[in-house]
Amino acid sequence: MEVARKVAKNTFYNFTALVVGNLSGLFLAILLARILKPENFGIYSLALVIANLSIALSTLGIDNAVVRYISFYHGRNDINALRSHFKHFLKVKMVVTVIVASSLILLSGILASTFGDERLRIPFFLAGTVVFLASISNLFASFSRGLQRFDLVFLRQVTYEFSRWVFVIPLAISFLAVGAVAGVALAYAVSALTLFYFISKNYHEFIFGKSSKVSGGVHSYMGFMTIASLSGIVYAHIDSIMIGYLIDSTHVGFYRAAYTVVFAISGFASSLAGVLLPTFTQLSEREFEAGLGRLNRYVSIIVFPIAILLSFFADQIVYVLYGRDYSVAGDVMTILAFALIPSGFVYLGSTLNAKERADLRAYTVLAGMIMNVILNYILIIRMGMVGAAIATVISRFFVIFAVVFALAKLLRMNPKVDAMIKPLLASTLIVLLILVLPKPGNLFSSILEIVSLLSLYVVLLVVVKCLGVEDIKYFKKIIRV
């Protein structure tokens, strides 16, 4: 019961943090897109993409290692080992982060010339500041996750999002893309200071004091997690970079407008991923497999119909959110919506880390990244932004299939993919109905059709016995816990 209570509490805080982050990020992106217009929104988006890639480079798998080892030694109540590992991770990260952030600042002019747009020089320069501040904030957040203090993770997210609204919008109105990037840097600074204050106040003995040598497997784990994290972030942003390089930064703005909506939604479906790694280090394989089928079924129920509806109503959604200036983003969203499906099951990859097979996770993500780069180059040249969307969808499905294969064949675990069959069947019937119905011509008819289709979908789930009284009791039990 105590484990269930802890998981429920962590899930609540983690899910709430993701809801706050995704909703705030989505609405902020929509407002910024309207303020900056496609040209400057593309510059802002490209600068943040470069910043995110640099953050991944400065992470070197450290954040994931912090979660893994802090959770492990906290569970054993070994404060000295916990402190020693954290101080080691902090030292390594500070050195690497300073090198990466300084390099981005110094090379900002060269990078701007590479993309053929001198207006990118100052945003890239400021992106170096974002890298340093975000990396420190992320490290403290990982430390909190390792301690399973997801309330602090929630606090950090709320502080960051509130600060973004305080700084980004006014600066964007005054200084356009340059001001928006500067606002993001300030928001990370506030969130890092806030989280450090609460950690140092509540866990002073965990971070200050004498330390000893770290365990032998740390650097091996960090190495594989470096491959996975760096490959993952390249894999997530290479499409935008290649669009900026092969086309221009304005098209990056169009693409990121669609991308932001799709992956804000996927964040809700994959909300348990951040909770699973610390929890799985303390659960047996049998306990994990017992709940995986239910989790797969619930995620399938969510992501399958949303992907279909988002794809079908993409033009109307883009128009309502961004206006006519971004109408070409509708074609991108039509394809990119199906990336919701593999993104919803990202937690499956976390199980490889939790079972200390970070090497398998690294290899699958690296293979997906290589596939994504190749497909992006070929398809962007031939099809523009739509080609980038197709490359993203294909490569993300590949990674999930590879993870399922690794779980089933290499770790001899049952990934419970059969739990997805009934939601897939109900979603397929909805697809057939959508193909028969005429496409709505206005916002009101679109909303009416979406509500009707979702209502029918729920009925179908009950008919095929995918949802029932047992699930209602299960949700009530979770709420009580």
Domain-terminating residue out of 195, 215, 235: 215
How far apart are the C-alpha atoms of 164 and 187, rounded to whole Å?
5
Q: What is the DSSP string of 110-168?
A: HHHHHTT-GGGHHHHHHHHHHHHHHHHHHHHHHHHHHTT-HHHHHHHHHHHHHHHHHHH
Residues 194 and 263 in one domain: no
Q: What is the DSSP string of 374-443?
A: HHHHHHHHHHTHHHHHHHHHHHHHHHHHHHHHIIIIIS-----GGGGHHHHHHHHHHHHHHHHSPPPSSH
Helix (H) or strand (E) holding 465: none
Residues 118 and 239 in one domain: no
Domain assignment of residue 39, given as a range: 17-215
Residues 275 and 331 in one domain: yes
Structure pTM?
A: 0.79
Residues 256 and 205 in one domain: no
Residues 169 and 243 in one domain: no
How far apart are the C-alpha atoms of 199 and 141, rounded to whole Å?
10
Residue 94 burial by Cβ neighbours in a 10 Å radius (0-12, 13-18, 19+)? middle
Q: Which two tokens stand for residue 388?
A: 């980038």
Q: Does any domain span residue 7? A: no
Residues 132 and 249 in one domain: no
Domain-terminating residue out of 192, 215, 238: 215
Residue 284 per-residue DSSP state: -
Q: Which two tokens stand for residue 381?
A: 């040249």
Residues 295 and 421 in one domain: yes
Q: How far apart are the first and last CA of the chain?
A: 8
CA distances from 305 to 222, 296, 434, 442 (A): 37, 15, 11, 21
CB 67 within 8 A of CB 355: no
Residues 276 and 163 in one domain: no
Helix (H) or strand (E) holding 76: none
How far apart are the C-alpha atoms of 56 and 106, rounded to whole Å?
18
Tens-of-pLDDT digits for all 481 residues of the chain?
A: 455 566 667 667 777 887 888 889 889 999 999 999 999 999 999 999 999 888 887 776 777 777 777 777 777 777 787 777 778 788 888 888 899 999 999 999 999 999 888 899 999 999 999 999 998 898 888 888 888 788 888 899 999 999 999 999 999 999 999 999 999 999 999 999 998 888 888 877 777 767 666 665 565 566 656 666 666 677 678 888 899 989 988 899 999 999 988 888 877 666 555 444 445 444 455 555 656 677 777 788 888 888 888 898 898 889 889 988 999 999 999 999 999 888 888 777 766 655 666 667 777 878 888 898 999 999 999 999 999 999 999 999 998 888 888 877 776 776 667 777 888 888 888 888 888 877 776 767 777 888 888 888 888 888 877 777 776 766 665 555 4
